[in-house]
Protein backbone atom coordinates (compact mmCIF):
# COMPACT_ATOMS: atom_id res chain seq x y z
CA UNK A 1 0.00 0.00 0.00
CA UNK A 2 2.75 2.43 0.95
CA UNK A 3 4.94 1.34 -1.91
CA UNK A 4 2.26 2.18 -4.41
CA UNK A 5 1.88 5.63 -3.00
CA UNK A 6 5.61 6.28 -3.17
CA UNK A 7 5.72 5.08 -6.71
CA UNK A 8 2.82 7.33 -7.57
CA UNK A 9 4.65 10.30 -6.01
CA UNK A 10 7.73 9.57 -8.11
CA UNK A 11 5.62 9.34 -11.21
CA UNK A 12 4.05 12.69 -10.36
CA UNK A 13 7.48 14.26 -9.90
CA UNK A 14 8.64 13.02 -13.25
CA UNK A 15 5.44 13.89 -15.07
CA UNK A 16 4.95 17.24 -13.37
CA UNK A 17 8.01 19.42 -13.90
CA UNK A 18 6.33 22.32 -12.09
CA UNK A 19 6.27 20.26 -8.88
CA UNK A 20 10.08 20.00 -8.86
CA UNK A 21 10.61 23.70 -9.10
CA UNK A 22 8.21 24.44 -6.27
CA UNK A 23 9.81 22.02 -3.77
CA UNK A 24 13.57 22.16 -4.17
CA UNK A 25 14.06 20.23 -0.93
CA UNK A 26 12.38 17.16 -2.34
CA UNK A 27 14.66 17.33 -5.34
CA UNK A 28 17.81 16.31 -3.50
CA UNK A 29 20.48 16.47 -6.14
CA UNK A 30 24.01 17.28 -4.95
CA UNK A 31 25.06 20.84 -5.59
CA UNK A 32 28.51 22.20 -6.34
CA UNK A 33 28.84 23.57 -2.78
CA UNK A 34 28.49 20.15 -1.15
CA UNK A 35 30.96 18.63 -3.58
CA UNK A 36 33.53 21.34 -2.78
CA UNK A 37 33.14 20.78 0.96
CA UNK A 38 34.13 17.16 0.65
CA UNK A 39 37.07 18.04 -1.58
CA UNK A 40 38.40 20.70 0.85
CA UNK A 41 38.65 18.31 3.81
CA UNK A 42 40.40 15.24 2.46
CA UNK A 43 41.12 12.63 5.05
CA UNK A 44 44.75 12.20 6.08
CA UNK A 45 46.36 8.84 5.78
CA UNK A 46 47.61 7.08 8.90
CA UNK A 47 51.22 7.94 8.01
CA UNK A 48 50.40 11.62 7.60
CA UNK A 49 48.56 11.62 10.93
CA UNK A 50 51.57 10.06 12.66
CA UNK A 51 53.95 12.56 11.02
CA UNK A 52 51.77 15.44 12.21
CA UNK A 53 51.72 13.98 15.73
CA UNK A 54 55.52 13.53 15.70
CA UNK A 55 55.95 17.11 14.54
CA UNK A 56 53.65 18.33 17.31
CA UNK A 57 55.51 16.29 19.95
CA UNK A 58 58.90 17.52 18.68
CA UNK A 59 57.67 21.10 18.90
CA UNK A 60 56.43 20.49 22.44
CA UNK A 61 59.77 18.88 23.37
CA UNK A 62 61.78 21.79 21.96
CA UNK A 63 59.65 24.29 23.86
CA UNK A 64 60.08 22.35 27.11
CA UNK A 65 63.82 22.06 26.53
CA UNK A 66 64.13 25.80 25.89
CA UNK A 67 62.04 26.56 28.97
CA UNK A 68 64.19 24.27 31.13
CA UNK A 69 67.38 25.80 29.71
CA UNK A 70 66.09 29.27 30.59
CA UNK A 71 65.23 28.04 34.09
CA UNK A 72 68.75 26.64 34.56
CA UNK A 73 70.36 29.88 33.43
CA UNK A 74 68.11 31.97 35.64
CA UNK A 75 68.71 29.86 38.77
CA UNK A 76 72.46 29.78 38.11
CA UNK A 77 72.50 33.58 37.82
CA UNK A 78 70.47 33.90 41.03
CA UNK A 79 72.85 31.50 42.81
CA UNK A 80 75.89 33.54 41.73
CA UNK A 81 74.23 36.75 42.89
CA UNK A 82 73.34 35.13 46.21
CA UNK A 83 76.91 33.93 46.75
CA UNK A 84 78.27 37.37 45.93
CA UNK A 85 75.96 39.10 48.38
CA UNK A 86 75.73 36.35 51.03
CA UNK A 87 78.86 37.51 52.83
CA UNK A 88 77.78 41.15 52.69
CA UNK A 89 75.82 40.92 55.92
CA UNK A 90 78.75 39.38 57.81
CA UNK A 91 81.25 41.86 56.36
CA UNK A 92 79.08 44.84 57.25
CA UNK A 93 78.72 43.57 60.82
CA UNK A 94 82.54 43.14 61.07
CA UNK A 95 83.34 46.68 59.95
CA UNK A 96 83.00 48.16 63.48
CA UNK A 97 85.43 45.52 64.75
CA UNK A 98 87.88 46.49 62.00
CA UNK A 99 87.53 50.13 63.05
CA UNK A 100 88.28 49.13 66.65
CA UNK A 101 91.43 47.31 65.53
CA UNK A 102 92.57 50.42 63.65
CA UNK A 103 92.04 52.56 66.76
CA UNK A 104 93.91 49.99 68.88
CA UNK A 105 96.88 50.04 66.50
CA UNK A 106 96.95 53.84 66.63
CA UNK A 107 96.79 53.77 70.42
CA UNK A 108 99.68 51.26 70.57
CA UNK A 109 101.96 53.71 68.73
CA UNK A 110 101.70 56.35 71.46
CA UNK A 111 101.04 54.10 74.46
CA UNK A 112 103.57 54.11 77.29
CA UNK A 113 101.78 51.53 79.42
CA UNK A 114 101.01 47.99 78.15
CA UNK A 115 98.01 47.28 80.44
CA UNK A 116 95.49 49.65 78.71
CA UNK A 117 96.55 48.38 75.25
CA UNK A 118 96.11 44.78 76.38
CA UNK A 119 92.68 45.61 77.79
CA UNK A 120 91.68 47.31 74.51
CA UNK A 121 92.77 44.30 72.45
CA UNK A 122 90.75 41.98 74.72
CA UNK A 123 87.67 44.20 74.26
CA UNK A 124 88.07 44.11 70.46
CA UNK A 125 88.54 40.33 70.54
CA UNK A 126 85.39 39.91 72.65
CA UNK A 127 83.44 42.16 70.29
CA UNK A 128 84.63 40.12 67.28
CA UNK A 129 83.65 36.81 68.92
CA UNK A 130 80.21 38.17 69.89
CA UNK A 131 79.56 39.45 66.36
CA UNK A 132 80.49 36.09 64.84
CA UNK A 133 78.40 34.25 67.45
CA UNK A 134 75.39 36.34 66.42
CA UNK A 135 75.91 35.09 62.85
CA UNK A 136 75.82 31.45 64.04
CA UNK A 137 79.53 30.70 64.62
CA UNK A 138 80.33 28.49 67.62
CA UNK A 139 83.60 26.97 68.72
CA UNK A 140 83.93 23.23 69.24
CA UNK A 141 84.87 22.26 72.79
CA UNK A 142 87.64 19.70 72.66
CA UNK A 143 89.94 19.42 75.68
CA UNK A 144 89.07 16.50 78.02
CA UNK A 145 86.25 15.49 75.64
CA UNK A 146 86.09 12.01 74.06
CA UNK A 147 87.66 11.98 70.58
CA UNK A 148 84.86 12.40 68.02
CA UNK A 149 85.65 12.23 64.30
CA UNK A 150 82.57 14.35 63.55
CA UNK A 151 84.26 17.36 65.19
CA UNK A 152 87.94 16.48 65.68
CA UNK A 153 90.91 15.73 63.47
CA UNK A 154 93.68 13.82 65.28
CA UNK A 155 97.15 15.20 64.65
CA UNK A 156 98.94 12.68 66.83
CA UNK A 157 98.55 10.22 69.70
CA UNK A 158 100.58 10.49 72.87
CA UNK A 159 100.62 8.27 75.93
CA UNK A 160 97.87 9.36 78.29
CA UNK A 161 99.09 10.82 81.61
CA UNK A 162 96.40 8.78 83.42
CA UNK A 163 93.79 6.15 82.60
CA UNK A 164 90.92 8.68 82.52
CA UNK A 165 92.40 10.49 79.47
CA UNK A 166 92.74 7.41 77.23
CA UNK A 167 90.73 8.03 74.03
CA UNK A 168 90.13 11.65 75.05
CA UNK A 169 91.50 14.91 73.70
CA UNK A 170 94.55 16.00 75.68
CA UNK A 171 95.58 19.13 73.76
CA UNK A 172 94.09 21.35 71.06
CA UNK A 173 96.45 22.62 68.34
CA UNK A 174 93.81 24.48 66.31
CA UNK A 175 90.29 25.36 67.43
CA UNK A 176 87.35 23.95 65.46
CA UNK A 177 84.19 25.86 64.53
CA UNK A 178 80.59 25.16 63.55
CA UNK A 179 78.34 27.50 61.62
CA UNK A 180 74.65 26.90 62.27
CA UNK A 181 75.46 23.40 63.61
CA UNK A 182 77.51 22.45 60.50
CA UNK A 183 81.24 21.91 60.95
CA UNK A 184 83.20 24.45 58.92
CA UNK A 185 86.60 23.59 60.44
CA UNK A 186 87.57 20.48 62.38
CA UNK A 187 89.52 20.93 65.60
CA UNK A 188 93.09 19.65 65.26
CA UNK A 189 93.77 17.78 68.47
CA UNK A 190 96.19 15.48 70.28
CA UNK A 191 94.58 12.29 71.55
CA UNK A 192 95.65 10.20 74.55
CA UNK A 193 96.50 6.59 73.82
Question: How far is residue 139's CA from residue 53's CA, in Å, rounded to a whole number?
Answer: 63
pLDDT, one tens digit per residue, over 78-92 is: 998 888 777 777 888
- Max mean pLDDT among 58-67, 84-93, 99-108 falls in 58-67
Burial of 121 (0-12, 13-18, 19+ CB in 10 A): middle
Distances (CA, A) of 120 to 95, 114, 127, 130: 17, 10, 11, 15
pLDDT at 19 over 60: no
pTM exceeds 0.85, yes or no: no
Amino acid sequence: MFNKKKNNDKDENIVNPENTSENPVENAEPTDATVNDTEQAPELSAEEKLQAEVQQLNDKYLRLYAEFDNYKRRTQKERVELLQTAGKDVIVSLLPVLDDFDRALKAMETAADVAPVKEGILLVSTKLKNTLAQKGLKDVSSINEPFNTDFHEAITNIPAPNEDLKGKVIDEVEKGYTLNDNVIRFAKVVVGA
